[in-house]
Amino acid sequence: MNKKLFPSIAFGLLATIVAGGAISSCTKSAAKGSDNADIEARVEALLSQMTIDEKIGQLNQLTGVGCTPERVAEIRSGSVGSLLNEVDPDTVNALQREAVENSRLGIPLIIARDVIHGFKTIFPIPLGQAATWDASIVEEGARVAADEASSAGVRWTFSPMVDVSRDARWGRIAESFGEDPYLASKLGVAMVNGYQGDDLSKPNTMAACVKHFVGYGASEGGKDYNTTWIPEPHLRDVYLPPFKACADAGAATFMCSFNDINGMPTNADTHLMRDILRGEWGWDGVMCSDWSSIQQMVPQGYCKDLEAATEAAAKAGVDVDMMSYAYVSSLKNLVEQGKVSEKVLDDLVRNVLRLKFRLGLFENPYVDTANARRFFTESNLAAAQHAAEQSAILLKNDGGVLPLKEGVRIAVTGPMMDAKHDQNGTWCFDLEKDKTVTVLEALNDMYGEGKIVAAPGLTYSRDTNAAGIAAAVAKARTADVILFVCGEEAVLSGEAHCRTDLTLPGAQKEMLRQLKATGKPVVSVVMTGRPMAIKDVVDNSDAILYCFHPGTMGGPAIANVLSGKVNPSGHLPASMPKASAQAPLYYSHKNTGRPAEGMMLMDEVPLEAEQTSTGCTSFYMDCGDGPLFPFGYGLSYTDFNYGPVVLSSEKMDAKNGTITASCEIENTGSVKGATVAQLYIRDLVGSLCRPVKELKGYEKIELAPGEKRTVSFTLNADDLAFYNAANERVTEPGDFQLWIAADSASGEAKGFVVE
Ligand code: BGC
């Protein structure tokens, strides 16, 4: 133990703390309650030594500028508690040395970074990971990320993002697990577990940061940072559950969102942070602001100046001020004036110190330089490739054009065919381009250059210069099958990268039209950061493989799927629209009083038709209703037959009943493959209108040709509950329906009654 850590602690207390010694292991449940008495004692002992300036310093998070004299002075004076964006292990150690050896109390820094879908070895974007519907893949990806990033000194990542995202215009849908609260909860927990491991004090873990608390995915119009209107029952039914699941799993930190909800910025929302998160859920982790989000309450029109914003955030319970310089500039004054109590300040500091103890930073403040930079290992690359293979979604396969037949000549074309930067997607600060393997490279490797002809046609996704298309089409004519690798560049999705046009950008649509006109079979591989409106791709392709930006090993993964070495099993984690203006679009919508029926579309409407002659139901005249491909959808190179659903009973007790639903699934095709069996329910009548379907369970199963297996799901009364108008969680008696199906739009409903 470094002597500087506790310079003047009374001996008895010091003895207790040292006896705590190597902090007893911080299990996954450690962030749930103050059950770790050793840590609490150490927190109190340290807190009692701190000046008000040192306390505020622990709450101050700054971005990295290297080991400059100014930064060293700030660290030595104790006015910075954590740093984001320092990723060089030697610099991290130099800065840490200033904190541990040259500041009065020797409190270590936490080094943070946005490690969102991999640090060096990049996995598919989170939306792509969600397409695997496989929590073990998501957990493994986070484990790899934690091992790589911690070997550079990063012990806190700002991930997972569990914002339920139902609007494909919103660029941040790329960072999410998609539109469904149940799926986002399962995968969010898996990611937390992967980052934090079973003992957060081990040096190869990172504290997870579950973000953005909360409702950010509802940003009006799919425009980033926008306002949201979310009634509390809806917030509790849809937006809060993934956060609750991650809090229960012991997520060490959360981050506030940029948006306001119903006019209240989340950074000032005492009800959210104190009543719900810390009160109802009993969570004792660190709440971090988003980048300068405390200061942003001024332009938001909620606070008149930075001091008012500081007061609001501190009182609401924002522990860490990321880059607003609000707490360092105003909090002392507020405490001295009595506007913020010392108790409030101390509680914020306690949370930060507790995290530092939980991370084992007092014992292991430095990166082990002999074991640093554990990047791109064979097993990490294999895990990334497996994740990319499992995330590929087969949307169309007419005439069995895929898998590619032996000996075919393949024309590889399109702006994403060799896009080392762009196939990695958003949030790849630490990307090494030359480690990325593209589709073109992988196919050349797999088939030999003699079997491949290649020309990009367009040099990047937004390219409108059609000059190269003719050459690509000419090459395509010489091949047996055309592979059009299209999509969106990385920069078109992610934070602040929202779009109103969800179709392929640039001249890609025109290029595809010309490729189709060759008469050769066209396979489109679509790499994007969001569900796009690809009706024209469907019309002009024989097969479509949809790959959310797949990461470092995207090329070999896609080559394996195209060649049939891997049978695709990805399923959509978000609905794909027919037209951009359908956004927001999600399967779990309300029925309306006039659900779509007898739709007469614009082109069918006679001249001077009577106002009501086209019917009065809920649809768009130019694209009807519903998605192009529904949530949960995904094909395979084999076929599955879902048998009838069998219920253990047709009645269920509303208080403590359970019901088991089973379904036999058979692989009726000729190759081994996996399907995702999905359980949906509908509460037909509620004291508030209920969605037409809600996902309540899923299981990914792999079957050999001819093999049958029965999947079973057991639901209890609470699984059927929702929040009523009084914000009470209730299971209301009445009629329900249930489906077990391969996507959210198929299957036969089976009824049961809750009494
Ligand atoms: C984003 C966060 C991110 C933070 C730190 C913000 O702009 O909203 O998601 O973690 O920056 O880089």
Looking at residue 35, its pLDDT comes to 55
Residue 682 identity: R
Atom of ligand 1 nearest to the CA of 211: 9
Nearest CA to ligand 1 atom 12: 114
Beta bridge partners of 754: 652, 734
Give, for 397, the enclosing helix (H) or strand (E). strand 393-397
CA of residue 222 to ligand 1 center, whole Å: 18
Q: What is the pLDDT of residues 416-467, one digit of tens each?
A: 999 999 999 999 999 999 999 999 999 999 998 789 999 999 999 999 999 9
- Decide: residue 529, CB within 10 A, 0-12 exposed, 13-18 middle, 19+ buried: buried
Nearest CA to ligand 1 atom 10: 158
Check if 290 has its Cβ closer than 6 Å to any atom of ligand 1. Answer: yes
Tell which phi-psi region holds residue 551, choosing left (phi > 0), alpha (psi between -120 and 50) or beta.
Answer: left
Provide the 10 A C-beta neighbour count for residue 265: 25
Check if 163 has its Cβ closer than 6 Å to any atom of ligand 1. Answer: no
- The order of strands in the sheet holding 253-256 is 209-213, 253-256, 286-288
Nearest CA to ligand 1 atom 11: 291
> 743 vs 449, which has greater pLDDT?
743
Query: CA triplet 106, 112, 116: central angle to 5 degrees?
Result: 165
What the block records as the tokens of 145 is: 């990320």
Whose CA is closest to 677, among 693, 685, 665? 665
Percent above pLDDT 70 for the chain: 95
Domain 640-754's class?
mainly beta
End-to-end CA distance of the chain: 61
Check if 495 has its Cβ closer than 6 Å to any atom of ligand 1. Answer: yes
Mean pLDDT value of segment 205-218: 98
Check if 422 has its Cβ closer than 6 Å to any atom of ligand 1. Answer: no
Looking at residue 3, its pLDDT comes to 30
CA-CA distance, 118 to 131, in Å (whole number)?
17
Mean pLDDT value of segment 694-714: 98
Check if 291 has its Cβ closer than 6 Å to any atom of ligand 1. Answer: yes
CA of residue 644 to ligand 1 center, whole Å: 47
CA of residue 688 to ligand 1 center, whole Å: 35
Atom of ligand 1 nearest to the CA of 158: 10
Mean pLDDT value of segment 607-616: 95
How sure is the predictor about 477, in pLDDT bands with cuts at 50, 70 and 90?
Answer: very high
Pocket test for ligand 1, best of 256, 290, 320, 427 (most atoms within 8 A of CB): 290
Residues in the chain: 755
CB 606 within 8 A of CB 710: no
CB 752 within 8 A of CB 736: yes
Residue 557 identity: A
Mean pLDDT value of segment 585-589: 98
How sure is the predictor about 8, in pLDDT bands with cuts at 50, 70 and 90?
Answer: very low
What the block records as the tokens of 287 is: 């709440």
Check if 237 has its Cβ closer than 6 Å to any atom of ligand 1. Answer: no
Looking at residue 337, its pLDDT comes to 98
Check if 213 has its Cβ closer than 6 Å to any atom of ligand 1. Answer: no
- The order of strands in the sheet holding 82-84 is 156-157, 110-113, 82-84, 60-63, 321-322
Q: How far is CA 287 from the centre of its chain?
A: 19
Provide the 10 A C-beta neighbour count for residue 236: 18
Is 60 exceeded by the pLDDT of residue 15? no
Provide the 10 A C-beta neighbour count for residue 221: 14
Atom of ligand 1 nearest to the CA of 175: 9
How sure is the predictor about 29, in pLDDT bands with cuts at 50, 70 and 90?
Answer: very low
Check if 158 has its Cβ closer than 6 Å to any atom of ligand 1. Answer: yes
Provide the 10 A C-beta neighbour count for residue 203: 18
CA of residue 634 to ligand 1 center, whole Å: 32
Pocket test for ligand 1, best of 157, 158, 255 (most atoms within 8 A of CB): 158
CA of residue 62 to ligand 1 center, whole Å: 13
Check if 752 has its Cβ closer than 6 Å to any atom of ligand 1. Answer: no
CA-CA distance, 716 to 648, in Å (whole number)?
12
Whose CA is closest to 186, among 129, 116, 246, 232? 246
Give, for 734, the enclosing helix (H) or strand (E). strand 734-741
Check if 114 has its Cβ closer than 6 Å to any atom of ligand 1. Answer: yes
How sure is the predictor about 36, in pLDDT bands with cuts at 50, 70 and 90?
Answer: confident
Nearest CA to ligand 1 atom 5: 291
CA of residue 376 to ligand 1 center, whole Å: 25
499 Cβ neighbours under 8 A, 6+ residues apart: 169, 171, 492, 530
Query: CA triplet 203, 209, 212: central angle to 5 degrees?
Result: 170
- Decide: residue 218, CB within 10 A, 0-12 exposed, 13-18 middle, 19+ buried: buried
Tell which phi-psi region holds residue 44, choosing left (phi > 0), alpha (psi between -120 and 50) or beta.
Answer: alpha
Whether the domain at 6-371 and the domain at 640-754 fall into the same CATH topology: no
Is 90 exceeded by the pLDDT of residue 739? yes
Provide the 10 A C-beta neighbour count for residue 565: 12
Pocket test for ligand 1, best of 83, 114, 219 (most atoms within 8 A of CB): 114
CA-CA distance, 64 to 86, in Å (whole number)?
5
- E-strand ranges in 598-693 read 640-642, 646-647, 651-652, 658-667, 673-683
Check if 148 has its Cβ closer than 6 Å to any atom of ligand 1. Answer: no
CA of residue 416 to ligand 1 center, whole Å: 27
What the block records as the tokens of 273 is: 């942070």
Atom of ligand 1 nearest to the CA of 212: 9
CA of residue 291 to ligand 1 center, whole Å: 6
Mean pLDDT value of segment 615-633: 97
Spans of all domains in the chain: 6-371, 640-754
87 Cβ neighbours under 8 A, 6+ residues apart: 64, 113, 149, 152, 153, 154, 429, 430
Beta bridge partners of 715: 659
CA of residue 226 to ligand 1 center, whole Å: 15
Is 50 exceeded by the pLDDT of residue 22? no
709 Cβ neighbours under 8 A, 6+ residues apart: 664, 665, 701, 703
Whose CA is closest to 550, among 331, 692, 401, 385? 385
Average pLDDT, the chain: 95
The CA radius of gyration of the chain, in Å to the nearest whole number, is 27
* Domain 6-371: homologous superfamily in CATH: Glycoside hydrolase, family 3, N-terminal domain (3.20.20.300)
Residue 88 bears catalytic tag? no
How sure is the predictor about 504, in pLDDT bands with cuts at 50, 70 and 90?
Answer: very high
Nearest CA to ligand 1 atom 4: 291
Q: Which of 290, 319, 418, 542 is catalytic?
A: 290
Beta bridge partners of 122: none
Q: What is the pLDDT of residues 270-284, one digit of tens each?
A: 999 999 999 999 999
Is 60 exceeded by the pLDDT of residue 346? yes
CA-CA distance, 12 to 33, in Å (whole number)?
26
